[in-house]
Amino acid sequence: MSSETDDQPPKSFPTARESRLLFSSPLFEKGWVWLAGAGPGDPSLLTLQLYDALGKADFIVYDFLVSEAILALVPSSVERLYAGKRGGKPSPSQRDITETLITSARAGRRVLRLKGGDPFLFARGGEEALALANAGIPFRVLPGISAAPAALAYAGIPLTHRDYNSSITFLTGHDLTGALPRKIRWNMLAGSAEVLVFYMVMKHIATIVRKLLAAGRDPQEPVAFIRNATLPDQTIAVGVLKDAVDTAKRFSPPVVFVVGSVVGLHEQLAWWSPPSEFPRSRGKS
């Protein structure tokens, strides 16, 4: 008995460009701003909607965390503006970035605001959306895969597992001023959240670890640092909370910091290895 594969070549899926015909892609109109999440870095994790938008935009404003592999998909005719923010280094102000979006849209351009991860999760997309709304600029939000879910998935660490946790808390390591967020109630956090996932943690890692331990978190609780998730230079280090400050010395941003027993599954579930060929990681150094 012969199978279909004996007589015919295997069927292939449409390319990403061809797939535009298979889903309803919204019209990118002149004078609009699209706030888009570019995901954690690997271009194969882009949404189809964003992939389509990369070829329709007139002007792209992008952040530091947008990888070069993604920027390489943008047609050479599209104007691009780097608007990345990095702690301790000269960076454009949020006011200037927002004003650029508004001015460009009023000039009748199709503006794509490209952010790493998801635009509404620790990416200031909400602030930009409010500014656009107040200025009367029409906008659309394109969700993206945020760094934390991607980092844990590529590290073989489930965000949730019924045998380990029924809750998870996402936090940022610094507020608008660069200081440790003042509204975090560390005693409540340490006692109620089974898994903690921190973005932008490196500046205040020593204080964060000290506060978690002082609030009663187990010094032997597993932790993980994940840098450049999904990219060929992805780096993972696991350890315990009491030693986390020393472990952190091996890393520079961008890093996701995870605290919780699910980290213990990393050794069994680690599945990812870097591809042999992959464009360089970050858009700017």
In terms of domains, do 35 and 11 share one? yes
In terms of domains, do 133 and 167 share one? no
In terms of domains, do 248 and 263 share one? yes
Distance CA 185, CA 23 (A): 45
20 alpha carbon, distance to own chain's centre: 24
In terms of domains, do 75 and 194 share one? no
Query: Is 42 part of the annotated catalytic residue set?
Result: no
Residue 198 CB neighbours (<10 A): 23
CB-count burial class (<10 Å; 0-12, 13-18, 19+) for 276:
exposed
The angle formed by the CA atoms of residues 197, 199 and 205, to the nearest 5 degrees, is 85
In a domain, 194, yes or no: yes
In terms of domains, do 37 and 161 share one? no
* Strands (DSSP E) found in 17-83: 33-37, 59-62, 79-82
In terms of domains, do 156 and 262 share one? yes
The dihedral built from the CA positions of residue 200, 206, 212 and 217, taken in this order, carries a sign that is positive
Residue 112 pairs in a beta bridge with 34, 60
Is residue 37 a contact partner of residue 118, using CB atoms and an 8 Å limit?
yes
In a domain, 278, yes or no: no
In a domain, 56, yes or no: yes
Is residue 172 a contact partner of residue 197, using CB atoms and an 8 Å limit?
no
Distance CA 225, CA 227 (A): 7
Chunked into runs of 10 residues, the chain (285 residues) has average pLDDT values of: 49 59 80 97 94 95 93 95 72 91 98 97 95 98 96 96 94 88 92 94 96 97 96 94 96 94 96 65 41
Q: What is the pLDDT of residue 44?
A: 94
Q: Which two tokens mark 120?
A: 């509404």
Query: Is 1 part of the annotated catalytic residue set?
Result: no
Which of the listed residues 112, 145, 178 is the one where a domain comes to its end? 145
The boundaries of the domain holding residue 168 are: 148-269
Q: Which two tokens mark 207?
A: 């204080």
Residue 256 pairs in a beta bridge with 226
144 alpha carbon, distance to own chain's centre: 8
Q: What is the pLDDT of residue 26?
A: 87
In a domain, 275, yes or no: no
34 — phi, psi (to 5°)?
-105, 120
In terms of domains, do 186 and 123 share one? no
Distance CA 96, CA 238 (A): 39
In a domain, 274, yes or no: no
Q: What is the CATH number of the domain that holds 252?
A: 3.30.950.10
In terms of domains, do 173 and 94 share one? no
In terms of domains, do 68 and 111 share one? yes
Question: Strand, coil or helix: what is 118?
Answer: coil
Q: Which of 42, 52, 63, 118 is catalytic?
A: 63
Is residue 27 a contact partner of residue 107, using CB atoms and an 8 Å limit?
no
Q: What is the pLDDT of residue 131?
A: 97
In a domain, 284, yes or no: no
In a domain, 205, yes or no: yes
Is residue 34 a contact partner of residue 28, using CB atoms and an 8 Å limit?
yes
Distance CA 246, CA 152 (A): 21
In terms of domains, do 228 and 251 share one? yes
Q: What is the CATH number of the domain that holds 12?
A: 3.40.1010.10
Q: Which of 56, 58, 85, 218 is catalytic?
A: 85
Q: What is the pLDDT of residue 14?
A: 61
Q: What is the pLDDT of residue 4?
A: 45
Query: Is 218 part of the annotated catalytic residue set?
Result: no
Q: Which of 52, 115, 118, 200 is catalytic?
A: 200
In terms of domains, do 172 and 53 share one? no
224 alpha carbon, distance to own chain's centre: 17
CA proximity to 129, closest of 159, 147, 109, 105: 105
In terms of domains, do 129 and 162 share one? no
Which of the listed residues 110, 125, 145 is the one where a domain comes to its end? 145
Q: What is the pLDDT of residue 176?
A: 79
Q: Which two tokens mark 132?
A: 């656009």
- The count of domains in the chain is 2
Q: What is the pLDDT of residue 15?
A: 63
In a domain, 10, yes or no: yes
Which of the listed residues 104, 128, 145 is the one where a domain comes to its end? 145
Residue 197 pairs in a beta bridge with 170, 258
